[in-house]
Amino acid sequence: MQVTASVGVPIFTVTSPANFTLGCGTTSCTSMQIPFVITSLVANAPCQYNYVPPAVSATPTTFTINPNLNPVCVPGTWVVYVKDLTNNCVSSQSISIIQNTITPPIYHIKPLSILD
């Protein structure tokens, strides 16, 4: 027997001012925010959040009330979890943080040295 429930599972959107891209610098970071969560049971239900970094596969057991993650400095696939505190339903979404590794074009012109 399989029992499923689609009522009350949080629906959310993850945004980033940097479009989920890190630059080439070692101090380059981005951020993620969850601007709003929709649940079908209660409008504006209280929610908690967790951001799981790449190379971690376990489902989180602790959540925070902060819908923002600053800074994100590691590229890879992050998993964002949202927990509805009204009914304890948890939903997740995978987010790819990519790193811009294309080096900028550099041209060097050496002055002509003439021996006489």
Rg of the chain taking only CA atoms, in angstroms:
22
Specify the amino acid at residue 35.
P
Non-local CB neighbours of 44 within 8 Å, separated by 6+ positions: none
Q: Which residue is it, tokens 């209660």? A: 42
Specify the amino acid at residue 33.
Q
- Give the pLDDT score at 86: 84
Report field, pTM of the whole predicted structure over 0.75: no
Specify the fold of 11-99. Answer: Immunoglobulin-like (2.60.40)
Render pLDDT for 62-71 as a digit per residue (tens, 0 to 9): 999 999 988 8
Domain spans, the chain: 11-99
Q: DSSP assignment of 59-96, as one string?
A: PPS--BS--EEEEE---EEEEEEEEETTT--EEEEEEE
Render pLDDT for 26-51 as a digit per residue (tens, 0 to 9): 567 888 898 888 876 666 778 899 99
Question: Using the 8-state DSSP alphabet, how is residue 44 labeled?
Answer: T
